[in-house]
Each structure stands twice: as C-alpha cells, then as structure tokens.
Structure 1
Amino acid sequence: MPEVITAVYEITADDPAARAGLVAVEQSHELPTELAPANAVRDSLAHVRSVVPRAGRPALATVEYPVDLAGGEIGQLLVLLLGNVSLQDGVRLVEVDLPPSLTARLPGPRLGIAGVRALAGEPERALLATALKPVGMTSEQLAGLAYELAAGGLHVIKEDQGLADQPWAPFAERVPRIADAARRPLHGMRPALPTPGGGMTIARAPELLDAYGPDTLFLVGGDLRRGDDPRAAAERLVAATR
C-alpha cells in the first residue's frame, strides 16, 4: 500500500463530509477533479478516510495525502497540510502523522531549541524577537533602534520585510550598520536580516559576506537574470562568495 501523510482537521460546516472533500481536493490539486488528467487523480489526489461528527463540537475529518506531494521538503509539507485552507473559516489542523520515508528525509533543525538558546545565551527564559520598522526611517535610525532593542534584552532582531533598497535607508548602507549595531549587545547571536532581491546584487555579496560571515543566506533576484546566461551569473555569484 502506498505511503500517505495523514492529517486530521476539525471541520465546522453544515455538511462536514462535503467540506472535508473540498479540503482534500484544494490542498492536493487546487483544481476540480473533473478537470485533472486521470494519472494525476490516480497518483496525487488526496482522499478523505473518515469524518466523525461530534455533538456540539466540530467534526473530525481524516485526510490522506500521497507522500510524494510533500516532495521530501518541510516547506512543501506545511503548504500541503494547511496552505490555501488556512485562509478559510471552519478548518483547523489538529493532528499529523508522517510515514517513515518522510521523517527519514526531515531530520529536524540543525541547532534545535538547545542550540538556539546557547547562541542567545538564554538557558531558561522565553526567547524574544522583533522586526525593525517602519519604512521611512534612515539607516542611522534603524541601526540605533536595533542597538536599543538588543541592549534592552531581546534575543533576535530582524528587518521588516518592507525594507528593501528605498532612498531613506539604501540597502548597501543600511545592512552593515544594522548588523554592527545589533551584534554588539547580542554577543554570539547573529542578527537575522532578510536579503531582499530588490537590494541584493552579485557585486554586494563580498561586502555582506564580510559583514555576516559564512552562515548567511543570500537571496539574489533580478541580478541573476541580467544578460542571456543565468548559469554564468550563478557562477559569478558563487565566485563572489568564496
């Protein structure tokens, strides 16, 4: 029997069985079944195993997803289990059972809770984080805010996703200033700053690698598509980060 990912949802609806069927289709195909080719229906469509009504409480619906839908990736697994239906009322994911083949491919985080606590120097208290905002602050203001928040006891500082390469705080100026400001009171904990494609270029990679060190994820967008050879652009990025 093919391996499946089993998910249990609380369903609040006049017809829980019908709603559970819609969840299965939406989360696996996002397309009415009659429009899907026969091989896709056979290989990748989720199925409702059971729906259990409960008096005065949401029904429990068990949905089985073919394990290959997760692609062996944690991000895809989360999208599969609660992607589109997370935007809908009356559906709540309450239990997940993963088959051995998938758990073997998802060993868990590299650091884990203990490792993150060790980096933060915080063995017991809750770990605290915040985002730098709003857009419109200067690089100096954002760096000062990062320093004060870290000095005040927060453990993780990140840039808000709205910060890119705007004129008030240009990317090349802002990022190293915030990194330096936050690193001083954060000690061993590295600042967590997303690297937006709108501000990140291949030319800036060495500068930012020097600022953050090798444990850094660089997200380069349009700069990899300048010209006609994306492979050569990727090779330039690799060379720039060595």
Structure 2
Amino acid sequence: MQQHLPSGDISPRRHRMSKSRSRTFKGALAAAVATAGLLTALVPGGAQAADNPYERGPAPSNSSIEASRGSYATSQTSVSSLLVRGFGGGTIYYPTSTSDGTFGAVVISPGFTAYESSIAWLGPRLASQGFVVFTIDTNTTLDQPASRGDQLLAALDYLTEDSSVRSRVDSSRLGVMGHSMGGGGTLEAAKDRPSLKAAIPLTGWNTDKTWPEVRTPTLIVGADGDTVASVASHSK
C-alpha cells in the first residue's frame, strides 16, 4: 500500500479512485494516511527513522488505517470565529505527545451548505495517526470554491502563526483537504500556494476543469454514484 516520492519531490501526481458517495470519507482517510507517495512530506510511512526524519508513529498497515484511532492519544481545542479573520473558526485536533517533535498539518473544509460538523470526525482520526488537523467552518455555508481556497490558506496561516498549538506544527509540511466545494477550494489553495505538500479534494466540485498550475502532490477522490460532482464532470 506504500508508495514513495523522493524527499522534496512535489511534482504533480494525481491519483483517482471511484467509490460510492457514502464511502468517500472512509476511502479518502485510508488514502490520506496510507498513500506515502502523496504524503511523503507530511507523514512518510514505512521508512526507517534514520532514513526519514519525518516518520511519526508505526508504519501504516491495513488494520491501523481501518481502525477508528491510530497510535497517538489526541487533544482538541476550539477556535472561535470571533477570534480569527478570513475563515469561520473551527476545531484543532493534535497528538498530545511532544516527544516526537513537530507534526505535519492539514486543514479540512466542508462542502456547500455544510458545517464543520460534517467533517469533524476526521479530526481525531487523522490526528491520532500523527497530524495536527484543523477542521473549519467557512464564513458562510454558500461560499464558492475560490473563497474556500482562500479560507483554507487563512486557516493554515492561523494554525502555524497564531494558534495555541503552533509549536507542534512543522510549517514546512502543510496540506489541505475538502469535500465537494471544499474539494474545489482545495485545488484553488494548491494553485495559489505551490509550497503546500499535499492536497486532497474529496468529490471536489469546481467550474474550472483544468489545473495546469497545480504542482502539489494531489489525491483526487471521486464517487461513482455522485450526481452533483460527478466523476466525469469534475474528478476526471
């Protein structure tokens, strides 16, 4: 299940898989944790620590990925929308241990008309695999992909510069993820900030169908039963 990119390689590699919509998040989670070819810069899996200083926790396996929690105990902290600018606040989930140093981080956006609650379950699950995870609300539930991309980046900036857990984050290893229009926003964020190390659109929706500007390693997850963001019209 493990694929590897050379250290520092951020050449465009897009992977697609087709699943039913009800299984999209589970499939995306497994891919996000297990596909080291996508997330080498965030949480490499399987390499020896001496060879890979970014390794966190045990190498992923089928059973560890499918488990509801990984090897790290986690904590969480709420971020009020009144205290931030550029996005709607949210919840930060993070490994409680500091013995392994800093962790790669990912911000996750919900989709059109949806709230943070729709993606909140991904927070502790991914954090327990060795990430700092920020699930956010958007400014309004009707925000379009370009706005969601800006909000993902604003949330990353808050996470790395102002949040109470900023010392736990490796600011050189950051990623973005989102569902539906949040997935479309993920592509927008990757286009605007090429230094990102990973982008994961989950059944992403966007009126833009070509992304030659994206150089971030990107995993596109499509759902074959999705009639809103169909694979043929959006993921492909």
Normalised-by-shorter TM-score class: 0.3 to 0.5
Higher share of residues assigned strand: 2
Q: TM-score, normalised by structure 2?
A: 0.33
Higher relative contact order (CA 8 A, sep 6+): 2
Larger Rg belongs to: 1
Higher share of residues assigned helix: 1
